[in-house]
Amino acid sequence: MNDLTISDAIRSVGAYDRTLDLFESQYPVPDGISYNSHVILDEKCAVMDTVDARETDAWLNNLRRELAGRAPDYLVVHHMEPDHAANIALLAGLYPEMRVVATAKAHALIGQFFDIELGDRAVAVGEGDALPLGRRALKFLTAPMVHWPEVMVSYEQFEKVLFSADAFGKFGAPDFSDGWVDEARRYYFNIVGKYGGPVQALLKKAATLDIRAICPLHGPVIRENLPFYIGKYDAWSGYRPEDKGVLVAWASMHGHTAFAAKRFAEMLRQRGVESVVEMDLSRAWVSKAVASAFRYDRMAVFAASYDAGLFPSMEDFLLHLKAKAYQKRRVGVVENGSWAPAAGKRMRALLEEMKDVEILEPAVTIRSSMKPETERELERLADRMSN
Ligand SMILES: Cc1cc2nc3c(=O)[nH]c(=O)nc-3n(C[C@H](O)[C@H](O)[C@H](O)COP(=O)(O)O)c2cc1C
Ligand SMILES: [Fe+2]
Ligand SMILES: [Fe+2]
């Protein structure tokens, strides 16, 4: 029994893509990503989602092995994003009797993505609907905007498994060898982060169920210590900082702004700040910087002025934070400029468009390089940021 297989009746047929460079053409995945898919073998047989087109062959081999000659009665589609839905038309073609179970919104998307006419093989389900399979039965809960509008999750009542779609997923191997939380946090904030409200709504519905295992579409099946993982999701989707600490992030061309930022990080450490994380935005993955910003309750941003504006790696970072609904945090702003500093104004403007972001005084301007007076101003800012 491999790690993702849940029981003799709920078997993993998904695939682990180890060679993908960028998930969604933007997130580095050096340890790959899994596209989970399961088959439930009962009196009726249901395939739970398909996989990305990159892994069609591996998935079909797994599926044929587990079906052992049976034909699936149902394909259950939780989410229409192509990393899971790429093989719907293929499977519908291979098994002409198979019915496709999904929300009405998902069925509309099936028509958009594929040239297939399912006719009466299309089964539209909604909140609370059930699909009996024998001893096992699925109950569907809609989860709109837990990534896309058509998303639903399903609960298998006999084995008490929640098939949670993209929720509780992570980048990397489908196991816990990386400790789960860092790659799950990077996945959550970059992919689902904007939709904290819908995730909170899903958590409320899930709280009414007796769940023994959470089976996401990426990453490992969670079978133990469920309150830990659900607690992380509750904090993340509630935009509550997970830890006390400061992300010190800089955007610097020739190193003077970076020097000041590193000096500032030392000042925070001297003042006993619990966690101080440094990030060079021109080199760190923006997805990691976004995840760190959400992890901590404070952030300090240091950037050089650039062509009467803001150095691009900082502009890009702040735009990402805004897109992911960064909020409820305290932020220090430090600019550098040699003749007409402009970075601070732009950083403040972007931060002011975010909800409940408090910009801490003093606003510091470095004129090319650190001088004793800038050092003193940074000390004052460090005092403000150290509690
Ligand atoms: C391409 C380029 C554009 C710049 N544009 C501005 C500007 O518009 N206003 C300004 O005051 N300084 C500008 N500067 C100067 C830098 O912001 C300034 O020298 C700063 O000290 C650089 O910090 P760094 O060593 O961290 O890169 C520019 C520098 C470069 C290389
Ligand atoms: Fe998705
Ligand atoms: Fe996904």
pLDDT in tens, 127-138: 999 999 999 999
Token pair of 361 as six digits: 């005084």
3-state secondary structure 32-47: CEEECCEEEECCCEEE
Nearest listed ligand to the Cα of residue 79: 2
* pLDDT average, residue stretch 14-30: 98
- Residue of minimum CA distance from atom 21 in ligand 1: 368
321 CA to middle of ligand 1, Å? 24
Q: What is the pLDDT of residue 387?
A: 85
Residue of minimum CA distance from atom 2 in ligand 1: 306
Say which amino acid occupies 48: M
H/E element holding 299?
strand 296-306
Task: Name the closest ligand to CA 83.
Answer: 3
Q: Which atom of ligand 1 lies nearest, measured to the CA of 250?
A: 26
CA dist 164 and 137 (Å) reads 16
What residues does 23 pair with on adjacent strands? Answer: 27
List, for residues 39-54, the tens digit of each pLDDT value.
Answer: 999 999 999 999 999 9
pLDDT tens digits, one per residue of 91-100: 999 999 999 9
Which ligand number lies closest to the CA of residue 374? Answer: 1
Q: Determine the Cα–Cα distance for residues 195 and 363; give it in Å rounded to an integer.
A: 31
Atom of ligand 1 nearest to the CA of 304: 17
304 vs 358: CA distance, rounded Å: 21
Residues around ligand 2, an ion, CB closer than 5 A: 81, 147, 166
For residue 75, the surrounding DSSP H or E stretch is strand 74-76
Give residue 254 CA to ligand 1 midpoint distance, Å. 9
Strand order in the sheet with 99-102: 10-12, 38-41, 45-48, 74-76, 99-102, 122-124
Q: Render pLDDT for 363-385 as a digit per residue (tens, 0 to 9).
A: 999 999 999 999 999 999 999 99
Report how far residue 79's alpha carbon sits from residue 284's, in angstroms, rounded to the nearest whole number. Answer: 31
> Ligand 1 pocket by C-beta < 6 Å: which residues?
252-258, 304-308, 336-342, 368
Chain centre distance of CA 165: 12
Instruction: For residue 168, report the distance from its CA to the centre of ligand 2, in Å.
Output: 11
3-state class of 130 per DSSP? Answer: strand
Residue nearest to atom 4 of ligand 1 (CA): 306
How far is Cα of residue 255 from the mean position of the Cα atoms in its chain?
Answer: 32
Which ligand 1 atom sits closest to the C-alpha of 253? 27
Output the pLDDT for position 1.
53
Instruction: Determine whether 288 is exposed, middle or buried from the number of CB atoms within 10 Å of its CB (0-12, 13-18, 19+).
Output: middle
